Amino acid sequence: MEVLMPEPQIYVERTLAIIKPDIIDKEEEIEDAILRSGFHIIQKRKLQLSPEQCSNFYAEQFGKVFFPNLTAYMSSGPIVAMVLARNCAVSYWKELLGPSNSLRARITHAHSLRALYGTDELRNGLHGSLSISSAEKEIRFLFPEAILEPIPTGQRARDYLNLYVKPTLLAGLTALCKEKPADPM
C-alpha cells in the first residue's frame, strides 16, 4: 500500500488586513476568524499612523468628502496591520470583510466581519486591499522591510520544487539516514 503525501502548498497571493483603532480590543477574536478562514498571518505589527501617513496611505481617496474624517479616524489610535496569505487572498478577504458600509453589511452579509465589528460606513472596523496591485502597494507602505517577490505558480512552482527543493531535501535526508547516532535517546 502506497502512502500518499499531500502536494506542498505555495500561497500565491497576499493581501493587507488592518484592524482599525476603534476595535483593536477585538484583535484576538478577529485573528481567530482569519485563521479559521484558511488564511496564514505572514507578518503582523501594531502601530499608530500620523495624520500625514494616513493621508499618504489613503491618497487615492483624496478629494472625497469623507477624506478628512477618514484620516482623522485612522490616526486616532493604534492599528494592527497584517499580511495575510492564501490562494485567492484578496477576494477571500473581501468576502470575509463584507460590504464597506457596516450598516449595509448587517443586512446583506450578517456574518461578515464588518457586520459584526463595524458601526457605520466610515467606522467599518477593518481594511482590506481592493486588488492584488493595491495589496502589494499597501503592504510595502506598512511593511517596508517586506520582500514581495513574485511567487511561482502552477508548472513554474512544480519546476522550482523539483529543481531546487527536492534535491536538497533528498541529499539532507540521505545524509541523516547514513549517520547512526551515538546515543539515540
Positive or negative torsion for Cα 139, 145, 146, 149: positive
**What does the radius of gyration of the chain's CA atoms come to, in whole angstroms?**
21
Catalytic residue, candidates 40, 109, 111, 127: 127
Q: Based on the residue annotation, tell me whether 40 is a catalytic residue of this protein.
A: no
Question: What does the angle CA 166 – CA 169 – CA 174 come to, to the nearest 5 degrees?
Answer: 120
Residues labelled catalytic: 127
